[in-house]
Structure 1
Amino acid sequence: MTYAPQLKIAATYMRGGTSKGVFFKRSELPAAAQQPGAARDRLMLRVIGSPDPYGKQTDGMGGATSSTSKVVILDKSTRANHDVDYLFGQVAIDQAFVDWSGNCGNLTAAVGAFAITQGLIAPERVPADGLCEVRIWQANIEKTIIAQVPMRNGQVQEAGDFELDGVTFPAAEVQVAFIDPAADDDGAGGAMFPTGNVVDEFDVPGFGKLQATFINAGIPTIFVNAKEIGYTGTELQGAINEDAQALARFETLRAHGALQMGLIQSLEEAAARQHTPKIAFVAPPADYTASSGKAIAASEIDLLVRALSMGKLHHAMMGTAAVAIAAAAAVPGTLVNLAAGGGEREQVTFGHPSGTLRVGAAAECQAGQWTVTKAIMSRSARILMDGWVYVPAEQV
C-alpha cells in the first residue's frame, strides 16, 4: 500500500484560562475542512489524537483531559461590529466524536490574542499600548463576547502578575465580558430558565427527587445541592473521578436534566451531546484544602461549586460554567444564589477544586422573565507553541 506524506497545517497551541487547545485560522485548514462536516471532524480528531482506547492521546496534541482536548477555528467576522468568528470543538478522548454544541469560556481568553497575532483584527483597532478590545462572535452559541487584551509596544502582553487558581504561573490579565449570555437557540425558546422556574424538582433514577436549577447562560447547566446527592462541595477530583459508579450516576443525572431542559428529545440522545449540558453541585462556604495544597477558608468565599465536564469532575472551573454560576447567583432564589446566602448580588467568589474565582453578572427581571445583560470574569492566556501540526494525509 502506498502512503501519502503527512499534511502540514499551520496551528498555534495556546493556554486560555485553565484549558489548552490547538488554534487554527479557517483559511489555513485543508479545503475540505474549512466547512463543517465529516472531513473537519476527522482532521480535528487526528490532530488531537482521538479516539484513543488507551485514554492518553499519545499520538496527538491532546492532553487526555476534557480541559486539554480542544480545538478552536477562527476567521475574520463578516458580522457588523464584530472582529472575529470563534468556533470551538470539544474533542472526545476515547470516541470518534467532536462536540460543537457549546463554547469554551476558558479558551475564549486566548481568542483575542490569537486574532491579533494572526492579523485577523484591523490594524487601526490595535493600539500600541493599553487594551485592545476584541469583539468576538461565538459561532457555537451565537453570542457576542468582548475581550480586553493588554498590549505593550505593539505586541500582545502575555507576561504579568495576575494569578489564576488552577494555573501554575502568573500572566497578564484578560478581562472577558459575555454579552447577553443566556442561550436563545439551544432548545430553550429564548428563556434563561427553560422550565420557567428558578428551582425545579425532578426525579432521577439512583437519586430520587432532587431540587435543581436549570439555566441557559454561558452554557446550559444543571445545578443541584451537594448535600442532596451525598457530597459536601469540598471534593477534589479523586473523590469522584476514581469512582466509576459515581460517574455513571452523574451521567444519568445529566441525561435526565438535558431532557428536562428540552435540549434532547430522548435519553438516548445524551450520548451524542457530551459537552452540554454541564452538571454542577453547590454548597454553602466551608474550609477545605485545594488540589495544590492551598488552604481555602470559608471566610474567603461565598459558596462552593464543583462541576463536571465530559463525564469527569473538572480540575478547576470551566469558563462557561463560571458564567452560569455568575448568572444564577445574581437571580434570587436559585440554588446557587441560596448557597451563597440569598438576596441580590452582582458578584460572587466561589471555591472550586483548584482554589477560588470571582465572577460578576448584572441580572434584571422584565415581565416575569429573568435576563442577564452581561457576565464578566478575568482570565489569562499565552502562546505555548506556534508552527505546524502534521496529520497523515490518508486519514483526512
Structure 2
Amino acid sequence: MPLQEIPAAFWRGGTSKAVVFRIGDLPPDRADWDPVLLGVMGSPDPNGRQLDGMGGGISSLSKVCVLGPATRADADVDFTFAQVPVGAGPVDYGGNCGNMIAAMGPAALDLGLVPAPADGMARVRIHNTNTAKVIVSHFPVRAGQAETDGALAIDGVAGSAAPIRLEFLDPGGAKTGRLLPSGAAVDDLSVAGRVIRASLVDAANPCVFVAATDLGLTGAEHPDLLAGDKAFLSTMESIRRAGSVRMGLAPDPEGAAGIQSIPKIAIVAPPRDATLLSGAMLPADRVSIMVRMLSMEQPHRAVPITGAICLAISARIPGTVAHAACAAGEGPLTISHPSGSTLVDAELSGAQAVSGSVYRTARKLFGGAVFFRG
C-alpha cells in the first residue's frame, strides 16, 4: 500500500514539539482521526521510540495540534489538542497543552487563519476545544511574520527567542465546571489501604497535588530516579485514578485508567536547593514552590504549562496542599522543576480563578507534508 500524505507543519512550543494540521486537511469525521494521528506519530511502538513516525518517544514529543476557523464569537481560531500515546492505547483528546499553545498564535498567522497585523504586537484569541476555554496569545510580529529573535530564555530549551505571553482567561473548571471539583481544598483518598491527602484542582487542566513528604520524598528528586521507582509510579497512578473519580472525570478507577492525560498528578514541596538536569544548582531562595509532575504515567522533565497554571492558582487557595508548600505571598510565583524554573502569575477573585499568565517561546521547525502508513 502506498504511503499517504497530508499537509502539515512541525512546531516547537515551549518545551514540547508537535505536528500541526489545518482541520480541513484531516478527515471530516473525527472518529477517523485516530488512525491518521497514530500513523503520523509512529504509534503504537513496542520499542518506545516512535522511529517510524514523527514522535520522539516521550509524551512531550508525541503531540498533535489541529487549527481551524473559530466556532465562537469571542475567539479568532479553534485549537484542538491530541496527546498521542507512544505505546498502546487510544489518542487522548481529554486535556489541553499549555506549551504547544505558545505556538498556536504564530501557527495560525502562518496558516492564514488570522490576519497579519502591522509590525508590533499580535493578539490572537485561541479557543481550546478540549476545555472550551479561551487563551489569549500576545507575540511580536515583523514584516507580517511572527518574530523569532528575542532575549527570552526558558529552562529546558537552548538559546533565546521572542517572548510569547499566554493569558488563560477564566481557567477554573476547565473540564469539571468547578475550580474545586469536590468542593474541598483537601480530600482524603483511599489508596492501597492507606489514606493520602490530596488537593483536587481544575484550572487550565485538572490536577491532583500531593505533598512530597507524605510519600517520603523531598520534591527535588531527579525524574530518572522517579521513573525507575516502580512502587512510586504505581502509587501515583493509583492516586491519580482515585482523584479522577473524586473529581467526577471517571466513574471508577478502571474508567480513569482509560483517560491518561487528565488529571495530571504532581508532588509539591516547599523550596529547597535542587540540582537541575543540566547539573546546575537552583537555590531555594530563588523559587516559591517545588513540583515534580507526571504526564502519561511518566515523570515530566519540566512542568506542563497548564499544570503550572493550575499549581499557581492552587497555591493561592487557602487550605490546599500547594498553599501550605508555597513560600511566596502576593505576586507571581516561581515554580522549581527538573529543568529549572517557570514564572507564573495567577489572579483570583474570591473563589473564582480570573486568569493565569505565563511566558513561553515557540518556533516553526518545518513545513510541507507528512507521510504515513494508512
TM-score, normalized by length of structure 1? 0.92
Q: 3-state SS of the aligned residue for 1:98?
A: coil
Task: Give the one of 59, 65, 70 matched to 2:52.
Answer: 59
Amino acid at match of 1:204: V
The one-character-per-residue Cα deviations of 1:220-275 (angstroms, maximum 9, x if unpaired) are 10001000011100011111112223212211111111111111111111221000
Instruction: Indicate if the aligned counterparts of 2:271 and 2:327 stay in contact, CA closer than 8 A.
Output: no
Alpha-carbon distance, 1:73 to partner = 0.6
Instruction: Indicate if the aligned counterparts of 2:53 and 2:372 stay in contact, CA closer than 8 A.
Output: no
Give the aligned partner of residue 171 of structure 1: 161
Alpha-carbon distance, 1:171 to partner = 1.1
Give the aligned partner of residue 353 of structure 1: 338
Amino acid at match of 2:218: T
Alpha-carbon distance, 1:168 to partner = 1.6
- Mapping of residues 50-199 of structure 1, within 5 Å: 50-121=43-114, 123=115, 126-183=116-173, 186=175, 188=176, 190-199=177-186
Instruction: Indicate if the aligned counterparts of 1:216 and 1:324 stay in contact, CA closer than 8 A.
Output: yes
The one-character-per-residue Cα deviations of 1:346-391 (angstroms, maximum 9, x if unpaired) are 42111000001110111122xxxx1101100001000111111012
Distance in 1 of aligned mates of 2:323 and 2:235? 25
The one-character-per-residue Cα deviations of 1:309-339 (angstroms, maximum 9, x if unpaired) are 0000100000110110121122222211211
Alpha-carbon distance, 1:166 to partner = 1.1
Distance in 2 of aligned mates of 1:285 and 1:183? 28
Q: 3-state SS of the aligned residue for 2:232?
A: helix
1:35 matches 2:35? no
Alpha-carbon distance, 1:34 to partner = 2.9
Alpha-carbon distance, 1:183 to partner = 2.1
- Mapping of residues 1-396 of structure 1, within 5 Å: 3=1, 5-29=2-26, 33-37=27-31, 39-121=32-114, 123=115, 126-183=116-173, 186=175, 188=176, 190-205=177-192, 208-341=194-327, 345-365=330-350, 370-392=351-373, 395=374
Amino acid at match of 1:320: T
The one-character-per-residue Cα deviations of 1:21-41 (angstroms, maximum 9, x if unpaired) are 000001122xxx23311x200
**Gap regions ≥5 residues in structure 1:** none
Q: 3-state SS of the aligned residue for 1:361?
A: strand
Cα root mean square deviation, aligned: 1.3
Deviates more, 1:165-174 or 1:328-337: 328-337
The one-character-per-residue Cα deviations of 1:164-216 (angstroms, maximum 9, x if unpaired) are 011122111100000000125x3x3x22001111122222116x222111000
Distance in 2 of aligned mates of 1:330 and 1:138? 24
Pairs aligned (count) = 374
Distance in 2 of aligned mates of 1:25 and 1:114? 10
Amino acid at match of 2:150: G
Distance in 1 of aligned mates of 2:102 and 2:362? 6
TM-score, normalized by length of structure 2? 0.97
Deviates more, 1:110-119 or 1:74-83: 74-83
- Aligned in 2, Cα 1:34/1:158: closer, same or farther, shift over 3 Å? farther
Amino acid at match of 2:316: A
Q: 3-state SS of the aligned residue for 1:34?
A: coil
Q: 3-state SS of the aligned residue for 2:313?
A: helix
Amino acid at match of 2:312: A
Q: Which runs of 4+ in 1 moved over 3 A?
A: none
Distance in 1 of aligned mates of 2:336 and 2:240? 22
Distance in 1 of aligned mates of 2:325 and 2:271? 8
- Aligned in 2, Cα 1:371/1:346: closer, same or farther, shift over 3 Å? farther
Counting aligned pairs with the same residue, the percent is 40
Q: 3-state SS of the aligned residue for 2:354?
A: strand
The one-character-per-residue Cα deviations of 1:139-166 (angstroms, maximum 9, x if unpaired) are 0010011000210122110121101011
**Gap regions ≥5 residues in structure 2:** none
Amino acid at match of 1:135: R
Instruction: Indicate if the aligned counterparts of 1:329 and 1:347 stay in contact, CA closer than 8 A.
Output: no
Distance in 1 of aligned mates of 2:200 and 2:24? 38
Distance in 2 of aligned mates of 1:77 and 1:309? 29
Amino acid at match of 1:354: S
Instruction: Indicate if the aligned counterparts of 1:330 and 1:347 stay in contact, CA closer than 8 A.
Output: no
Q: 3-state SS of the aligned residue for 2:30?
A: coil
Instruction: Indicate if the aligned counterparts of 1:282 and 1:306 stay in contact, CA closer than 8 A.
Output: yes
